[in-house]
Amino acid sequence: MTAPILLLSDLHLPNTPSPLRTAFLAFLTGPARQAAAVYILGDLFEYWIGDAEGLREYAPEAAALKALGSSGVTVYFMAGNRDFLVGKKFAAAAGLQLLPDPYRLDLGGIPTLLSHGDLFCTEDRAYQRWRRFSRNRMTQAIYRRLPESWRRYVAGAARGQPEGAARRNKPEAILDVVDADVRAAFAAYAVPRLIHGHTHRPAHHTLQINGHNAERWVLADWRPGNYEYVVIDSNGFQRRNFSATGNAE
Q: Which residues bind Mn ion (CB under 5 A)?
A: 43, 80-81, 198
Give the span between the Cα atoms of 200 and 226, in whole angstroms: 12
Query: Measured from the CB of residue 106, what is the shortest distance to Mn ion in angstroms?
Result: 25
Q: Nearest Cα to 126, choosing from 175, 179, 84?
A: 175
Question: Please, what is the minimum distance in Å from the beta carbon of residue 216 to Mn ion?
Answer: 16
Q: How far is the CB of 237 from Mn ion (least distance, A)?
A: 21
For residues 151 and 198, which CB has a smaller minimum distance to Mn ion in the complex? 198
The residue (of 21 and 200) whose beta carbon lies closer to Mn ion is: 200
Nearer to Mn ion, 54 or 80 (CB): 80
Q: Are 194 and 111 in contact (CB under 8 A)?
A: no
Q: Are 159 and 82 in contact (CB under 8 A)?
A: yes
Residue 42 CB, nearest approach to Mn ion (Å): 6
Contact 128, 118 (CB under 8 A): no
Three-class SS state of 76: strand
User: Which CA distances in Å does 200 have to 40, 63, 150, 167, 232?
Assistant: 15, 28, 29, 19, 20
Q: How far is the CB of 164 from Mn ion (least distance, A)?
A: 22
Which residue is at the shortest CB distance from Mn ion?
A: 198
Of the pair 41, 232, the CB lying nearest Mn ion is at 41
Choose between 96 and 121: whose C-beta lies nearer to Mn ion. Answer: 121
